[in-house]
Structure 1
């Protein structure tokens, strides 16, 4: 980090003073955060302890749950703290660390949903080759790309942003994002703009293109199959498609929030922030838990074992 920036303190102005509205928002975020932690941990434990779920799709889903916990935990405790405090200050280094975790959360989630779409494509379009393509080694390779590439890419972005000289110190934000920090700088470099554009292409546009391409191929194959095969494909892809649309809408909300938050009321700012950080991690395990038969059977089996165990105590 630029040594002149090392002691900079930023002020987040989007919260307003503590009062009934802040306390109400605090309670809502607290409940949603607890529900997010509980639902994701439950899904992870179900997948971990049921050997029948040790398949590529559920391994990816396990990692999606981990990523959701990372994203919500990186931001929500701090938001709840600021809702109760008079002065909302944060060091620049802490702000950049938050930027790093938020960006890694968003891009890793999109990347995991992309490899899940690829998994569904192989399962439906190349069923006879599925086990030879989605081997444990290939699953580990895909997960390595999902995590390592975003981690390295956004570490570089944070390093570039940290070198910018700061001239302003207030942000109308609930949490930090890279664009807001860059807008505080005395000057913007072409390198920062080009690198940001490259990140958008690689981590948003490319995954979106790959998922759409996968579902086009799945749709083409399904139209040539029997009605029962079509229903099976729909049940297999339904949870993933709903999850992907849900997360894409959250990304859209985030883009709107980052670009136009100066013109939005505090209430809308809070809603968009909570939607991006809490709603996808909360809904993903619920969607898969309600719409995936294997997970529902596993949960029922675990609950039945617990009930039988309690009856014998």
Structure 2
């Protein structure tokens, strides 16, 4: 009964940024600009994959999940934070807080699994080019995409489902957005050992699966590039993989800085909150740009679309 009444309790309090009144509008418009740039870049990549027939390939069907996941991450976090800054509020209902935390954790796990799937696709394409079409059939691609999202969903649900057994009596989220650790700190009088162990296990499992698949794939690709005598094939293979490696390292570097910011006591609370936000801002902002610049097919398709639109505008 206590848990049920807590679930329907009207509001939780977030721990807001300390921002002078004169600076909040500047920060709001800066954040809003960043948000719209991220939305535009990711929607452009999604639209290209959907509308351009030359991109209807297994590689790009798998890539489709990356901008979609980035949209989930940046939208689940940034609009709420910006709204709180400009409105001067710090309240959120418990169900919406859980939903935000769930989506943010889905985003984090999704990045790792999607990059692993993309690395596997490149491994098959470069190391087994003659068998690529027979191996990466539409059915296999659908299975890979379903496995990526399904495994991510199961692991995140398993973390959040453990919270239902714990009593809660606190009403303050010690962050500017909701996440699983912050929700866990609302409990009182319950044993959170299982939750902590499960959270660490799931994080380790995600990292282990993703890194193992990527390391295996890229080592095989590197060997194939060293063996082949075709410089054009070697160059194409390298450029194809560079974008995915850059995206992976961006995510890992930002994630590492986020974790480290919470391990040093002399780091200010506002800086810790800012570092925590970066993991949901930087990758969604840079991923479509990095991938677009490094993938000649996407870049050429985008330029062709702009050229056709320009010609049509001139004719009209």
TM-score category, normalised to shorter length? over 0.9
- Please name the residue that 1:287 is paired with: 290
1:251 aligned onto 2:255: yes
1:10 aligned onto 2:30: no
CA distance, structure 1, for counterparts of residue 265 and residue 51 of structure 2: 47
Give structure 2 stretches of 5+ with no counterpart.
Answer: none
User: Does the CA-based 8 Å contact 1:98-1:176 persist in structure 2?
Assistant: yes
User: Does the CA-based 8 Å contact 1:17-1:86 persist in structure 2?
Assistant: no
User: Does the CA-based 8 Å contact 1:107-1:150 persist in structure 2?
Assistant: yes
The alignment's C-alpha RMSD in Å is 2.1
User: Does the CA-based 8 Å contact 1:18-1:83 persist in structure 2?
Assistant: no
User: Does the CA-based 8 Å contact 1:161-1:178 persist in structure 2?
Assistant: no
- Please name the residue that 2:115 is paired with: 113
Deviations 1:86-121 (A, max 9, x none): 330222222111110001111112111110000111
Deviations 1:278-300 (A, max 9, x none): 11011111011111111111111
User: Does the CA-based 8 Å contact 2:119-2:214 persist in structure 1?
Assistant: yes
- Please name the residue that 2:72 is paired with: 70
User: Does the CA-based 8 Å contact 1:125-1:218 persist in structure 2?
Assistant: yes
CA distance, structure 1, for counterparts of residue 237 and residue 247 of structure 2: 16
1:35 to 34, 37, 41: 37
Q: Kindly tell me: are residues 65 and 29 of structure 1, through their superposed partners in 2, closer, same or farther at Cα, counting changes over 3 Å?
A: same
1:148 deviates by 1.7
1:23 deviates by 2.6
Partner secondary structure for residue 13 of structure 2: strand
User: Does the CA-based 8 Å contact 1:29-1:274 persist in structure 2?
Assistant: no
Q: Kindly tell me: are residues 41 and 202 of structure 1, through their superposed partners in 2, closer, same or farther at Cα, counting changes over 3 Å?
A: same
- Please name the residue that 2:227 is paired with: 224
1:25 deviates by 2.3
1:266 deviates by 4.4
User: Does the CA-based 8 Å contact 2:18-2:270 persist in structure 1?
Assistant: no
Give structure 1 stretches of 5+ with no counterpart.
Answer: none
Residues paired across the two proteins, number? 312
CA distance, structure 2, for counterparts of residue 42 and residue 232 of structure 1: 24
CA distance, structure 2, for counterparts of residue 245 and residue 138 of structure 1: 27
User: Does the CA-based 8 Å contact 1:14-1:269 persist in structure 2?
Assistant: no
1:199 aligned onto 2:222: no
Deviations 1:194-224 (A, max 9, x none): 3212211222222122212211221222222
